[in-house]
Amino acid sequence: MEELLQIAQKKGCKAEVFFSEGYSDIVSFEDSKLKNIDSKILSGISLRIIKDNKLGFAYTRNLLNKEELVNNALKSLKGGVDGFFEFPLTQNLKNLDTYSPDIEDISNNLLVEECKRLCDTILQKISCQINVTAQKTVNSLRLINTSGTELSVISSSYALTTELVYPYSSASLYRVIAGKSFIKAGDEYINFLTENYGHSLKEVKANSGRMKVIFLPETLYVLMWRLQTAASSNSLYQNISPLAGRIGEKVFDEKFTVFNDPLNDSIPGARAFDDEGVQCRQFPIVEKGIFRNFYYDLYFAERLKTDSTGNGFRASVSSKPSPALRHIYIVPGDKSFSDLIQSIDKGIIVGGALGAHSGNIPNGDFSIGISPAIYVENGNVVGHIKDAMAAGNIYETLTNIIDVENKTYISHGGNCPSILFNEVNVIIK
C-alpha cells in the first residue's frame, strides 16, 4: 500500500489507498434439512487520486502490478470528475471494541448444530417449512493517504436468520439475530416466530381501506430508505430532497427519533472512521419529529461548502465512496410488541415487503406488496391476507405514529423497533 502512495506521489498526485479483506462461513438449511456449507474469502485494493483538481479511481482484486493500477487511475482522470476536496489527516480516534476473539471458535459444525437445534425446537411447536441461515464473518480494513492518515479496523459478526414459510407460497415470517460472536437463539426469538406464524396461518378476507399497520423491524427499511435518500447530501446537492431548507422544522411525529450511531460497539459493524478516513460521530437525523441533519461524504461536503459527517462508505472495494447511513438507530418507545397488536381493531402487520424500490423514492412515495400480510382483528392475530398492498408517502405515514415498540432489533434497515402507524392505505384484491 505504501508503495502505491509513493508511485502516485511521484506522478504528482494526492492519493488514498483502501484495502479490504474478509472471510465468511455460511451454513444454510432448507425445509429443516442441511442445504449448503460455504466459505468465502474476498480481498481487494482501491486507489483514489487527485491531480489538477480531478478525481481518478482504480481497483483490483489481485495486486500484481502497482504501476499498472496507478496508471489506470491516471487514465480515469479523463472522465473529468471534479476533485477539489482534500484527503483528511485523521488521528487519535476513539478505540472501539469491534472484534470478538470468540468468533474464531465458531466452527461450521457449531453453525450446523445450532441450525438443526433451532429447526427441531420449532417443529416441536408447529409444523411448517423452516429455512435457516447462519453466518460468521471477519473483516479487516486499512486506509492510508498522502495527508498522513493511517487507519485500520478488524471486525467480527455472527448472524442467524430464520424463516417460517407459509404453505403454497413464497411468503415467510422471519427474524435476525446478530452479534460480534455466537448467540444462541433463545425462547423469545423462537416464540415470536412460532406464535405469530401459527396465529396467522389461516387465510382470511378483509376489505381495502385506511387502517392501522405495524411495520416490523425487518420491513421498516421501506420507509427508512426514503428518509435516508432525502437526508443525503447527494439529494440536497441535486435539489431533489423534500427536506431541503427544513432543518429545525417538525416534519414527523414526535415519537420518531433516528440517530446515526456508528460508535455503538455493543453491536457488530461499529466504526470510528468511514471509508474515506473521516472520523465517524453520532448525531440525530430526526429528533422527536424535528429534522436535524443531512449527512455528507467528502465530495458533497466540498460541493455544499461544509464538512463531511463521516458518512462516506463504499458498497465494495470496486466502488467509490458515496454518502451512506450505515448505522441507523431508531429510539424505542414504551410499548411491548403485544401492546402494539392489542391496540389494533382492524389492521395489518407488514411481515415482508415486495417491490420496495417502487415509487418516487426521493419524494418519499412507497407502494409495496405485503408478503405476508398478517391480519389483526380486535387485538389478536387471526390470519393472513393474500394479495395485499400498502401505499403512501413517508411525510404522511411518519406523522401518524400511534406507538413504538420498547425494544430494537438488528435488521436490514438498521437497529429498529416495530412501529404502529395509523391511517395507512391498504389495498386488498
Count: domains in the chain? 2
First-to-last CA distance in the chain? Answer: 58
Q: What CATH number did the domain enclosing 124 receive?
A: 3.30.2290.10
Separation between Cα atoms, residue 85 and residue 54, nearest integer Å: 10
Q: How far apart are CA 324 and CA 336, in angstroms?
A: 31
Cα–Cα distance measured from residue 104 to residue 24, given in angstroms and rounded to the nearest whole number: 11
Same-domain status, 177 and 210 = no
Residue type, 32: S
Cell 479490504 belongs to residue: 20
d(Cα 65, Cα 50) in Å, to the nearest integer? 20
Q: How many CB atoms lie within 10 A of CB 53?
A: 9
CA 186 to chain centre: 24
Does residue 260 share a domain with residue 185? no
Based on the fold, state whether residues 188 and 207 are members of the same structural domain: no
Segments forming the whole domain that contains residue 254: 201-429
Grid coordinates in use for 300?
458533497
User: Do 234 and 373 lie in a common domain?
Assistant: yes
Q: With 0-12 CB in 10 A as exposed, 13-18 as middle and 19+ as buried, what is 429?
A: exposed
Residues 108 and 168 in one domain: yes
pTM, to two decimals: 0.94
DSSP 250: B
Per-residue pLDDT of the chain (429 residues; tens, 9 = 90+): 899 999 999 999 999 999 999 999 999 999 999 999 999 999 999 999 999 999 999 999 988 899 999 999 999 999 999 999 999 999 999 999 999 999 999 999 999 999 999 999 999 999 999 999 999 999 999 999 999 999 999 999 999 999 999 998 889 999 999 999 999 999 999 999 999 999 999 999 999 999 999 999 999 999 999 999 999 999 999 999 999 999 999 999 999 999 999 999 999 999 999 999 999 999 999 999 999 999 999 999 999 999 999 999 999 999 999 999 999 999 999 999 999 999 999 999 999 999 999 889 999 999 999 999 999 999 999 999 999 999 999 999 999 999 999 999 999 879 999 999 999 999 998
Give yes or no: residues 217 and 344 share one domain.
Answer: yes
